[in-house]
Amino acid sequence: MEWIKWICMLGVIFILIPVCLYNGLKRIISASWVVQCILLISIPLNGFTFGLYHQDRELKELKYDGLWTTGTVIDKEYKSGKGPDYWAVQLEYYVDSVRYITNWEEDEKNEIEKGQILDVIYLDGFPKIYRVNTGVATREDYFE
């Protein structure tokens, strides 16, 4: 049933809001190209706003319902590209004998080594939602 909520939310963001915005602006602004430009800008803006909302919701769920475990660093790489260069680590952790591998997590101080054990907080019903404590705080202070 969770997927129905996602479909409804995406429908609201990418269809309902732009259509309502288009109809409202069409009555106010007579130039059709201005309305279309505003409409095109609103779609990624709505998506970005939804992304921020979703990230905040994940953090709140992890704070109140998250479970702690430990993960082992299985890989370390130097990432470079268009943005700033940085070291990144990848971890594996187990929940109910199922192996999960994290995305690349930034190692800000380049202090984490391959094979090191780090704390991972994950959502009980959906272990793929997680955060890695890369040493910035103790478990008790992680969400402060």
Query: 119-136: per-residue pLDDT in tens?
Result: 999 998 888 888 888 776
Query: 27-53: per-residue pLDDT in tens?
Result: 777 777 777 777 778 778 877 888 888
Q: What is the mean pLDDT of residues 66-94?
A: 90
Q: pLDDT confidence of 102, banded at 50, 70, 90?
A: very high
Burial of 87 (0-12, 13-18, 19+ CB in 10 A): middle
**Nearest one of 57, 112, 59, 122 to 86, comparing CA atoms:** 112
Element containing residue 100 per DSSP (H, E): strand 98-101
Q: pLDDT confidence of 63, banded at 50, 70, 90?
A: confident
Can you give the pLDDT at residue 74? 95
68-72, 104-108, 115-119: least confident range: 104-108
Instruction: Identify the structural domains of the chain with CATH numbers, from first to last.
Output: 2-63 (no CATH), 66-133 (2.40.50)
Residue 135 and residue 108: Cα distance in Å, rounded? 10
| Count of residues in the chain | 144
